[in-house]
Homo-oligomer: A and B are copies of this chain.
Amino acid sequence: MTQLYEHQIQALGSRERAALVNSISGFKAANLVGTVSADGNTNLAIMSSAVHLGSHPPLLALILRPDDACQHTLENILATRVYTLNHVNESIYAQAHQTAARYPRDVCEFEATGLRAQWEPNFAAPFVAEARIRMGMTLREHQKLTINGTQLIIGEVATLSYPQDSVNGDGSLDLASAGTVALSGLDSYYRAKRLGRMAYAKPELSPHHID
């Protein structure tokens, strides 16, 4: 085992430090965030920071970093108060990754990457047509985290679409069967293979699989 103390992490070169620290939280969700500006320019950006906040009401949080390609996304979310989350799948991960490039404001990442914008009735942000699991989100809360200037965006699920054949018996979604990928670090994409599902944990029972 290699052990690093914080001063050693801080002393790494910035690229090596970013590569290392971005990988230590574990596997990450890979979502494309779709937005539109007040004057109608669509934007699409890959993000790995979606995290579950609660299911009643259904809330997800996102962390946006000010120094990356998310700046237009943040401005659009604050202007329109809606955005979409679209699971990156095996068929589109290379195009999804390309949305991280710093395109000028008037370049549409949909056109630049070949992903197709899909609009749904009564929802004012673009979905990714190629995504199999996608959500329309309404902004509920926004704050700048003073500790490092990142932005915490909390949204409520307004609409949710998924393939019916990816629904497990308990109502959860089988993300592997939907082709959803996992991300690690800044650039590594993974297919997932299920090891097992565990029964609800209780103190008086030993851990056991349900499939």
Report A191-204 CB contacts with B as 1/0, cut-off 8 Å. Answer: 11111111111110
Render A136-161 as a binary contact track against B, CB cut-off 8 A, 1 for contact: 00001100010110101010111111
Q: How many copies does the complex hold?
A: 2
Decide if B180 touches A188 in the complex (CB within 8 Å). no
Which of the 9-residue segments A36-44, A47-55, A71-79 touches chain B? A47-55
Collect the chain B residues with CB atoms within 8 Å of residue A100's CB. Answer: 201
Closest to A17 in B: B55
A106 lies within 8 A of chain B by Cβ: no
* CA A20 to CA B164, docked complex, whole Å: 12
Chain B residues within 8 Å of A19, by CB = 168, 170-172
A173 and B24 contact, CB distance less than 8 A: yes
Q: CB distance B59 to A148 under 8 Å?
A: yes
A interface, over-half SS: mixed
Residues of B within 8 A of A26 (CB): 28-31, 50, 87, 175, 180, 182
Let me know if A16 and B171 touch, CB within 8 A: yes
User: Which parts of A1-32 form the interface with B (CB within 8 Å)?
Assistant: 1-6, 9-10, 12, 14-31
Given A17-B171, A135-B24, decide whether A193 and B196 contact each other with a Cβ distance below 8 A: no
- For the complex, what is the distance from the CA of A119 to the CA of B87, rounded to whole Å? 39
User: CA A188 – CA B145 in complex, angstroms?
Assistant: 32
Q: How far is the CA of A113 from the CA of B203 in the complex (A)?
A: 10
Asked if A54 and B148 sit within 8 Å, CB to CB, the answer is yes
Answer whether residue A124 sits at the interface, using C-beta atoms and an 8 A cutoff. Answer: no
List 10 A–B pairs whose Cβ atoms lie within 8 Å, in order of A's numbering: A5-B159, A20-B173, A26-B87, A28-B52, A90-B195, A98-B201, A102-B202, A172-B186, A187-B199, A189-B194
Given contacts A27-B182, A97-B201, could you give 11 more A-B pairs where the C-beta distance is less than 8 Å?
A: A17-B58, A26-B175, A27-B192, A53-B147, A54-B65, A57-B148, A173-B184, A173-B185, A181-B195, A188-B197, A190-B194
